[in-house]
Structure 1
Amino acid sequence: MERLTKAALATGGAAALLLGGAGTMAFWTDDGLATGTDVTSGTLTVTDGACGDWVLDGGGAVTEGIVPGDTVTADCALSVGGTGDHLALGDITVTAPTWAETNPLTGALDVTVDGATLDGTELTLPLADPVAVEAASDLVVTVAATFPEDSGNDTQALTATLEDVTVQVTQAHVVPAP
């Protein structure tokens, strides 16, 4: 009996091994090498420009001095350009005005963007929809300097000469409709 049991166990084990391997299939595999290709990033540039004379409250030139409550504007002409398949202009801001001399008047003036045109077309700011940018476009940014009504007496009889203002354009990503 012992011999029969050993033979039965051996036969059962062999059958289990054969049945267990019956579902396994082998596939050939190989590897190939695909060479890569280049992708180049686009650009967004702003070329330095210059600002014109201050205009008082959308009217004429400042002749006798600004007073608290006034806003003066100046048009600053720059060039903006870019390359990229989905490049658009997303935002325009001004920051960091530098003055020839720091005084209470320059400290009181709040400098912001009052408007802009791109290649002669007026932009509605802030931009609700991105605007396409070409390789070179004329950008005119109207900068406003507001003299707050609550300015103190220490702002009288002073001069504010704007040396520079940083005009920053921000890229937007636009994918054309198919």
Structure 2
Amino acid sequence: MKRSTKGALAASAAGILLLGGAGSLAFWTADGDANGGSITAGTLTLTDGTCDAAWTYAAGSAGAGNTVALFVPGDVVTKQCTFTVGATGDNLTAEVDAPASVEYTSAPTGTSLSLTAASTFAITGDPAGRALLDGDTITSADGGETITATFQVTIPFGTDETGAPIINGNDTQGITATLDALTVTLTQVQS
């Protein structure tokens, strides 16, 4: 091999070693960004109830539909309250907690007052006025609909004063019975 060829090979080898030891060979690169955008959460709300101004006598009882001024044993009275549902979300499902009975207090206490306070619920929408039971579910399709709670208080006809126990006796005259607050709750459940 000629001396010039050997020298050229040696110079090439030295150049390669110099490049390898000093860094790497350059090549092209490019970057691109993608804006991931944003996502927005839905909502689940329920307004406080708006109730009828007065109690009325229930259908099927004496004075049905008339405003209650002063109740007596044997009466059945009713009142309605409405709540508005706010429900948005692609896959929103919420369970309804709607108690079927309501507690009450009376003033004065310690009387023979005995009554039952029941509540039923319905929601507007499709089907119109469908019953809504404790444990039922609503979805975002029910957003903007109205839940109507109907209270029905039954004051049974009393016993005479010799009854044991006395129910709705003379000591209940002039008392005031107040229903405790009714709380309707919507709780999201997994769809």
Normalising by structure 1, report the TM-score.
0.54
Match of 1:115 in 2: 121
Q: Structure 2: where are the runs of 5+ without partners?
A: 1-35, 159-166
Q: For the pair shown, which has the larger CA radius of gyration, 1 or 2? A: 2
Q: Percent identity?
A: 28
Matched, 1:79 2:84: yes
1:10-89 equivalent positions in 2, closer than 5 A: 42-52=42-52, 53-58=54-59, 59-61=64-66, 62-68=68-74, 70-89=75-94
Q: 1:96 and 1:155 mapped to 2: Cα distance?
A: 20
Match of 1:142 in 2: 150
* Correspondence for 1:91 among 85, 88, 96: 96
Aligned residues of 1:72 and 1:144 also touching (Cα < 8 A): yes
Aligned pair count?
138
Aligned residues of 1:115 and 1:125 also touching (Cα < 8 A): yes
Give CA deviations for 1:10-63 in whole Å, capped at 9, x if unaligned.
Answer: xxxxxxxxxxxxxxxxxxxxxxxxxx9987664321112321121222222225
C-alpha deviation, 1:82, in angstroms: 1.9
Q: 1:145 and 1:103 mapped to 2: Cα distance?
A: 18
Match of 2:138 in 1: 131
Aligned residues of 2:96 and 2:135 also touching (Cα < 8 A): no
Match of 1:168 in 2: 184
Aligned residues of 1:45 and 1:81 also touching (Cα < 8 A): yes
Letter in 2 for 1:71: V
Q: 1:45 and 1:67 mapped to 2: Cα distance?
A: 39
Normalising by structure 2, report the TM-score.
0.51
Q: 2:133 and 2:110 mapped to 1: Cα distance?
A: 30
Change (3 A) 1:67 1:89: farther
C-alpha deviation, 1:119, in angstroms: 4.8
C-alpha deviation, 1:113, in angstroms: 1.6
Q: Secondary structure at the match of 1:113?
A: strand
Aligned residues of 2:114 and 2:155 also touching (Cα < 8 A): yes
Match of 1:155 in 2: 172
Letter in 1 for 2:147: L
Q: 2:136 and 2:70 mapped to 1: Cα distance?
A: 41
Q: 2:143 and 2:188 mapped to 1: Cα distance?
A: 15
